[in-house]
Amino acid sequence: MTGAPTAGRTPGPAAVLCGLGGWLPPKVVTNEELVARLDTSDEWIRTRTGIRQRHVIEPGMSTGSLAVEAGARALKSAQQDSVGAVVLATTTPDRPCPATAPEVAARLGLAGVPAFDIGAVCAGFVYALATGAGLIATGTADDVLVIGADAYSTLLDPEDRTTGPIFGDGAGAVVLRRGEPDEPGALGGFDLGTDGHLSDLIEVPAGGSRQRGSGVPAGPRDHYFAMQGKQVFRHAVLRMTGSVHKAVGRAGWTVAGIDRLAAHQANSRILDALTDQLELPRERALSNIDRVGNTAAASVPLLLADSVNEGSLRAGHSVVLTSFGGGLAWGSTTLRWPQLDAV
């Protein structure tokens, strides 16, 4: 047998991160506003999740419009006005059909390039990064705009206090370009995995072919997002811990040598448990969850943009990106942070 790539090693040229942008819709919903309509309290939400507020879209906006804003900022940060492909991670597409990415690409002046959606729920951005790196490695594109955008506010049951406080809307994006593996910004190998035996832990039961094909109409709450929080919490810590170890090993790094952990922002207690499991000082974990909540596929790139803007993530830092979500799906990768401006 010839030509089998070594597990975890990216064959061919490296994908180098060279642009970054994030965008949040202007409307903020504070915990106090949720308390007015749900049986909850600011104290419960802050102490159990670490969230103080979240941003939500307003009428006339959608996942696509969030993606366009973040994508434009990433292109500006990369000082580029074109790329060879657009990959959009989302599970709240503008419509069930077609994919949202082609319209996003067209609105960014990129009509003509390959553009498609990736669905891996909250792990989606790392999957989209791996896909973008693959497009570069195969010579399909020299540079790729990778966007994570979600509007979970459109999926939430207005009467469910267990999901309402957690999610927010937003988008983040990066530009990847062809480069050398030892350059700052070059992505290391990826660790990606799923466990579909546990797909019911996070779901929107209705709207897909299973429900439509059954001929049985959806129940009144079946179009809403549902999750089994406690089990999801446990798996999030377990899977991200294992995935960080694998990604770090593939990079030839040690966990102790991680300067910044950019983990999916699901719950501040998940972040604390993850850093404890990794035996990393908690201050090495980047965090913006208090201001944005869980923004699903947007979480990791928004976190990167916020952290660069506030100065907690700087050129030269060894960074691990890790994410986890419905599927179950998880993924991680590594990079030495490059010199760049977020916008």
Name the residues annotated as catalytic. 122, 264, 294
Enter the DSSP assignment of 5: P
Nearer to ligand COA, 40 or 211 (CB): 40
**CA–CA separation, 262 and 323 (whole Å):** 9
Rounded Cα–Cα distance for residues 205 and 222 (Å): 5
Residue 266 CB, shortest distance to ligand COA, in Å, is 3
Neighbours of 26 (CB within 10 A): 10
Q: Count the residues in the chain.
A: 343
How distant is the alpha carbon of residue 140 from its chain centre?
Answer: 23
Closer CB to ligand COA, residue 24 or residue 202?
202
Nearer to ligand COA, 49 or 131 (CB): 49
Among residues 162 and 339, whose Cβ is nearest to ligand COA?
162
Let me know the angle formed at the C-alpha of 9 by 270 and 140, rounded to the nearest 5 degrees.
100
Nearer to ligand COA, 38 or 61 (CB): 38
Give the nearest distance from C-beta 335 to ligand COA in angstroms: 22
Alpha carbon distance 262, 270 (integer Å): 13
Smallest gap, in angstroms, from Cβ of residue 186 to ligand COA?
Answer: 27
Q: How far is CA 161 from CA 155, 170, 218, in A?
A: 14, 21, 22
Task: Give me the least distance between CB of 327 and ligand COA, in Å please.
Answer: 10
Minimum Å distance from CB 295 to ligand COA? 10
Cα separations (Å) of 136 from 139, 257, 271? 5, 28, 32
CB of 161 to ligand COA, least distance (A): 4
CB-count exposure of residue 318 (10 Å: 0-12, 13-18, 19+):
middle
Task: Tokens 């030509």: give the residue.
Answer: 3
Residue in 171, 124, 136, 133 with CA at minimum distance from that of residue 150: 171
Q: How far is the CB of 2 from ligand COA (least distance, A)?
A: 40
Q: List contacts with ligand COA (CB under 6 A).
A: 40, 44, 48-49, 122, 161-162, 165, 202, 227, 229-230, 232-233, 236, 266-267, 294, 324-325
Record the tokens describing residue 319, joined without a space. 């960074």
In contact, 16 and 338? CB cutoff 8 Å? yes
What gap in Å lies between CA 248 and CA 254, rounded to an integer? 6
For ligand COA, the closer of residues 82 and 162 by Cβ is 162
E-state strands within 168-229: 169-179, 191-194, 202-203, 226-227
Contact 97, 305 (CB under 8 A): no
Count the Cβ atoms, other than its own, within 10 Å of residue 187. Answer: 24
Query: Smaller CB distance to ligand COA: residue 116 or 233?
Result: 233
